[in-house]
Each structure stands twice: as structure tokens, then as C-alpha cells.
Amino acid sequence: MLRWLPENVSTYGEKIDGIFYLIYYITGATFVLVTALLVAFLVLYRHRPGRKAVYTHGNTALEITWTIVPAVIMVVLGLVSKARWDEVKVDIPRGDIQVRVTGKQFNWEILYPGPDGKFDTEDDLQIDNDLHVPVGKVVRVALRSKDVIHSFFLPHLRLKQDTVPGREILTWFEATKPGTYEIPCAELCGFGHSGMKGTLYVHTPEDYARWVAEKWPAQQARLGTKSEAEARG
């Protein structure tokens, strides 16, 4: 079933998929066990004339076993999950690239801070629905909403985060493979919810530099030095 997962192109996506597979095996085994027992009992103990059912009210040892075993599995799963969760949603790295994404009915406004790396300054650039990032860089996304709740969904990067009007929510990703990927909105946001989508362009470093040069021709030189400095630091 899990082969239907969209190709993963983010750093943490693989680890998320790992837990997905782990749960898949645990629940798959449980399902097979329970169903096999069920079917076996139905066949073995179907009504036959002259046979009476076993008279028993339970078995404490068995019952304790099937309480403890699931509890232990669940707690372990919880701990494994927590580590991954913290990595994606709690410990947000500073990021090599910053963007601000604002959901509105029914578009994603993508705001680039420009070469100065600061939002709400002269060199900011806003493009609707197109998010350009370089491959292999940590992208820190500040999510906002203008009207209702939307949800910023990057299926290929295993990222989803609602955008909530009135607050800014930080999230991040690092793409591992150049390409174009869709950014659907995953939270019902009105009649145009279906079809509300943007595009993520993951560029090779050269392509990205070209794109930057095209968008901010004046400051090209400054940007070049900055990103080199960052790469070294």
C-alpha cells in the first residue's frame, strides 16, 4: 500500500516514511493475527449438533497480556514519533533561505525578502503561487493567512502546516531533488478550496542563482557574496 506514497524529496521525509512503514508492519501483523484468529474460531467453533460451548468467564493471565503488550508497543511508538516530530515541528532551524507564505482565498502569496534577507523592506518581492528554492538548502517558511484557515501542504516533502489568521507559524523544509512539485491547500477554505494550489520549484544551485539574478538584477553582486559567506559559515 505504501508504494502509493508520492516520491519523497525532503531530508526529514525519509524518517517520517520510516515510521509510516514501522506502523504499517505493526498494524499489518496485528490485523493478520486478529483476522486469522477470528476466521479460525468461526470455522472451528461453528455450530454442530450435540456440542456445547465451553463455559468460561475469562482468563486473567491472557487479559493482562493483551493489555500490557499493546500498551508497551504504543508507548515505544510514541517515543519514536516524538523524536521525529520535534525535528520537523519543534526545533525549527534558522534556515538558509527565508520566505513568507500567506494563504488567502484562493492563492498562496509568496513573499521573498530579497537580498537583504529582511521582510517588509524595499527589495521584497511578492509572487503569487510560485515558490522558488534551491536544492539542499534549509528553507524557513513563515506562514500567515489573510482570511480563513488554509493548510500549506507539500506532499512530496511530507510537510503540512495550517495557516491561521492572526498569527505567524514557522516551519521548514530542505528539498533533496530538483523539480517542480505542487502545493495544494489541504484545509477547506471556501468554494475555491479545490484548485487552490501553488508550485514549488526546486532549482539546482546554478538555476537558482540565475533565477535570483533575474528577479533582483540590481543587487546581484551583493547577494552573491552573502550566499558564499553563508556557505562557508
Partner 1 sequence: MSQAAVAAHGAEVHHEELGFWRRYVFSTDHKTIGRQFLFLGLVMMLLGGILALLVRWELGWPETRVPLMGWVPEPFMYDGYMGPEFYNAVFTMHATIMIFFAVMPILVGGFGNFLIPLMIGARDMAFPFLNMLSFWVAVVAGVIMLAGFFVPGGHAATGWTAYAPLSAVPTYSGVDWGQNLWCLSLIVLGISSLMGSINYITTVVNMRAPGMTFFRLPLVIWSLFIVAILLLLALPVLTAALGMLLFDRMAGTSFFLPEGGGEPLLWQHLFWFFGHPEVYILILPAMGVASEILPVFARKPIFGYRAMAYSMIAIAFLSWIVWGHHMFQSGMNPTLGSTFMITTMLIAVPSAIKTFNWLGTLWGGDIHFTTPMLNALAFVSMFVIGGLSGIYMASTPVDIFIHDTYFIVAHIHYVVFGGSVFAIFAAVYYWFPKMFGRMMNETLGKIHFWLTFVAFNCTFFPMHILGVGGHMRRIYNPLQYEFLKPLQPINEFISISAICLGIAQIPFIVNFFWSLAFGRKAERNPWKANTLEWDAPSPPPHGNFESIPTVYRGPYEYSSPLVPEDWLPQTRRLAPERAAAATVS
The verdict on 47 binding partner 1 (CB under 8 A) reads yes
Q: Which residues contact 168 (CB under 8 A, 6 or more apart)?
A: 142, 143, 144
State which of positions 119-138 bind partner 1 (CB under 8 A).
Answer: none
Among 127, 135, 138, 149, binds partner 1 (CB under 8 A): 149
Q: Residue for cell digits 508507548?
A: 75
Nearer to partner 1, 200 or 212 (CB): 200
Nearer to partner 1, 36 or 221 (CB): 36
Which secondary-structure segment (H or E) carries 127?
strand 125-128
Distance CA 100, CA 143 (A): 6
Site map (CB under 8 A) of partner 1, residues 165-194, x = contact: xxx-x-----------xx-xxxxxxxxxxx
Between the alpha carbon of residue 12 and those of residues 15, 83, 84, 96, 173, the distances in Å are 5, 11, 8, 16, 8
Least gap, CB of 122 to Cu ion (angstroms): 32
CA atoms within 13 A on the CB side of 38: 6
Q: Which is nearer to partner 1, 15 or 226 (CB)?
A: 15
The entry of Cu ion, partner 1, none near residue 218 (CB within 5 to 8 angstroms by kind) is none
| Residues that contact Cu ion, how many (by CB under 5 A) | 5
Stretch (H or E) spanning 139: strand 138-145
How far, CA to CA in Å, does 97 sit from each of 100, 112, 132, 134, 141? 10, 9, 10, 9, 8
Chain center to CA of 221: 35
197 binds Cu ion (CB under 5 A): no
Is residue 139 close enough to count as binding Cu ion by CB under 5 A?
Answer: no
Residues 54-93 that bind partner 1 (CB under 8 A): 54-59, 62-63, 66-67, 70-71, 74-75, 77-78, 81-82, 84-86, 88-90
Q: How far is the CB of 202 from Cu ion (least distance, A)?
A: 23
Contact 124, 112 (CB under 8 A): yes
For Cu ion, the binding residues (CB under 5 A) are 150, 185, 189, 193, 196
